[in-house]
Structure 1
Amino acid sequence: MKLAGAASIAGLAGCLEGDDENGEEADGENTIVAGTAPGFPPFQMVEDGELIGFDIDLLEAVVDETEYELAEWEQLEFDSLIPALENENIDVIAAAMTISEERQEQIAFSDPYYSADQSILVQSGGDFQPESLDDFDGQTVGAQSGTTGETVVRDDLIEAGIVDEDDYTSFDNYVLAVEDLESGLIDAVVLDEPVAATFEAERDVEVAFVYETGEEYGFGIRQEDEDLQAALSDGVAAVEESSEYEEITSTWFGE
């Protein structure tokens, strides 16, 4: 379930010596390092030691439309991506990151490349089958730290007085959250709709309902890197206008 261009961790590490695919010396100014946070299928994950996913294939296709060269992928926890970008340890974030006003105070984004809402994931056939957030009274819930799912929990459940702070568990990634859901340690998980669909197809969980947030994902860039921001936005447009975006989407979402 991956394109031929999916990123091999070992293979990309070999690019660090400064050579491009043709063995020619790469322009250091145009060489960029991407950061992502595995554990968010089908956007980014590691299988058999290989970094794969929608974001991986899409960013590589987008960069191919620019004068930049993608030298390396760094794997980090989601909460560590923006600090790593600001510290110049990476140059672009490709991690299904929602464009928000709060994040735009720290970083810039490319034009959007994907739209999504939030899903409420519960145990398949379990006792807790909510139809709205109001049904969460007295229930335990989980989400991944730093994500829109966590924002929904904090703003629309905890701040609204529906869920107690003590009944919320923050996870480093959604794989851990879904494992606790399957084990009955929590009653529900709030996460991005396409990711929830992937877990629903592969694990003993199901989507109870979709909570509309109208969010859009973008590639994160430092605010001062205006040339890279423009190049990635142009690259997103070029890939979307070609058949490549549809091919990548079909590979990872079957759409």
Structure 2
Amino acid sequence: MKNILNWPSLMLVLILALVISGCNTGGDSSSGSGGSGDNTSEAKGTIEQIKERGKLIAGVKYDTKLFGLKDPASGEVEGFDIDIAKALAKQILGDETKVELKEVTSKTRIPLLQNGDIDIIIATMTITDERKEQVDFSDVYFEAGQSLLVKNDSDITGLESLGGVKVLAVKGSTSAQNIREKAPDAEVLEFDNYQDAFTALKAGKGEALTTDNIILIGMQQTDNNYKLVGGNFTSEPYGMAIRKGDSAFVSEVNSLLKSLQDSGDYDTLHEKWLGAKPE
């Protein structure tokens, strides 16, 4: 009986059993892990996620009159970009009210898109080569140009007048970069959003505010003590931003733009918010 228990052999069997068990456990863990489920979720296109959720989540501005401005009294957000977001919700879900508007700024919009907090950016966003490395863009849906906003009695007439001048801009915008390149002797002060920048201009913290002309026109409409000067010194083609690689959603958004153009609804929206049909 004593010879039946061969301890070296028994130990070898136990070790082999543990190895085999470990391999099987590892395989099961890999095939059924949360990571695999997450990858499946990530593989879903934005359109599919929108339909499963039952609403479109659009990143829009809350501080940009004419394009996206929140009324503090009613809490409603209105503007050209807002109506584009509603039209997209109607195309995908059949109901323009099935849209959640989430506030973004020039600084936060790309991170929010990349993190999956929003489905699309519709927020006066200029298409640039640098941004194309981070997101995909729709076709151009609005053509703007950078300009300057100053007090009516200001001596500033354009870029040539900005030497030693404090110019206000918004963080994360192309405007701040452009003004540094085109007026290198100006002192650029950056703010989180357009409301803060305009408040700073009215408080005398700077002598000019720079961004896209149509945004400045919106500011001017709220306070006629200011004027635009210098004309448009850049081209700012706006596009809607989509997560990198989601070509199906890009096509969906572009089909919306074509539909709006073909039906005349784009001209109607342009006239509604900007006072005239596009030239």
TM-score (norm 2): 0.74
1:179 alignment counterpart: 199
Deviations 1:32-79 (A, max 9, x none): 311112111111110131111110002212342346875411113321
Is the 8 Å Cα contact of residues 61 and 67 (structure 2) preserved in structure 1? no
The aligned amino acid for 1:141 is V
Residues 127-206 of structure 1: pairs in structure 2 closer than 5 A: 128-130=155-157, 132-158=158-184, 162-163=185-186, 167-203=187-223, 204-206=225-227
Matched, 1:45 2:66: no
The aligned amino acid for 1:129 is I
Is the 8 Å Cα contact of residues 171 and 192 (structure 2) preserved in structure 1? yes
The aligned amino acid for 2:132 is Q
| More deviation, 101-110/180-189 | 180-189
Residues 1-255 of structure 1: pairs in structure 2 closer than 5 A: 27-28=51-52, 31-47=55-71, 48=73, 49-66=75-92, 70-126=98-154, 128-130=155-157, 132-158=158-184, 162-163=185-186, 167-203=187-223, 204-255=225-276
Is the 8 Å Cα contact of residues 63 and 235 (structure 1) preserved in structure 2? no
Is the 8 Å Cα contact of residues 65 and 238 (structure 1) preserved in structure 2? no
> 1 or 2, which has the higher helix percentage?
2
Return the offset for 1:30: 7.2
Return the offset for 1:196: 1.1
Decide which structure has the larger Cα Rg and report it: 2
Q: How many residue pairs align between the two structures?
A: 222
Deviations 1:149-198 (A, max 9, x none): 1121222223xxx22xxx32101111221222122220001111111112
Please state whether the residue corresponding to 2:237 is helix, strand or coil: strand
Return the offset for 1:148: 2.1
Deviations 1:184-228 (A, max 9, x none): 220001111111112222212111122331221011000121111
The aligned amino acid for 1:135 is S
CA distance in 2, matches of 1:68, 1:86: 26
Unmatched runs of 5 consecutive residues or more in structure 2: 1-49
Is the 8 Å Cα contact of residues 182 and 205 (structure 1) preserved in structure 2? no
Q: Structure 1 62/138 Cα, relative in aligned 2: closer, same or farther at 3 Å?
A: same
Please state whether the residue corresponding to 2:70 is helix, strand or coil: strand
Please state whether the residue corresponding to 2:210 is helix, strand or coil: strand
The aligned amino acid for 1:121 is L
Is the 8 Å Cα contact of residues 115 and 214 (structure 1) preserved in structure 2? yes
CA distance in 2, matches of 1:57, 1:30: 18
| More deviation, 110-119/146-155 | 146-155
CA distance in 2, matches of 1:66, 1:216: 25
Q: Which has the higher contact order (CA 8 A, sep 6+)?
A: 1
Please state whether the residue corresponding to 2:63 is helix, strand or coil: coil
